[in-house]
């Protein structure tokens, strides 16, 4: 097994374990997308990101998950602002 396949399997196992420990043990992960900010210690001027998805997750599903995450973050921000304005903490 290649290093890429080993690490992808490790991420998949970790995502599954994380979901099961924070949701119901019967929860099944059907797909995931990971976005990470990266930098190179040898080249501080370089930065970027890496995107990795679960094996065989179709492109349209990856885009859907990313859109859902972005929408969710926007909605949570709006709710936090509204609570702050209304004195709800």
Same domain, 16 and 35: yes
Same domain, 46 and 26: yes
Same domain, 45 and 66: no
The pLDDT tens digits of the residues spanning 34-63 come to 999 999 888 888 889 999 999 999 999 999
The span from the CA of 6 to the CA of 31, in Å, is 17
C-alpha pair distances (Å), 79 with each of 50, 69, 76: 29, 15, 5
Structural domain harbouring 77: 58-89
Overall domain count for the chain: 2
The pLDDT tens digits of the residues spanning 8-27 come to 999 999 999 999 999 998 99
Same domain, 38 and 51: yes
Same domain, 44 and 74: no
- CA-based R_g, the chain, Å: 17
Torsion, Cα of 84, 86, 87, 89 (10° steps):
-40
pTM: 0.74
Burial class (CB in 10 A: 0-12, 13-18, 19+), 31: middle
């Amino acid at each position: 097994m290649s290093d890429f396949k080993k690490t992808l399997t490790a991420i998949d196992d970790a995502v599954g374990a994380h979901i099961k420990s924070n949701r119901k043990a019967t929860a099944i992960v059907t797909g995931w997308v990971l976005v990470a900010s990266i930098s190179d210690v040898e080249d501080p001027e370089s930065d970027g990101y890496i995107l990795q998805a679960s094996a065989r997750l179709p492109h349209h599903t990856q885009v859907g998950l990313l859109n859902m995450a972005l929408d969710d973050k926007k909605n949570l921000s709006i709710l936090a602002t509204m609570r702050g304005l209304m004195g709800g903490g």
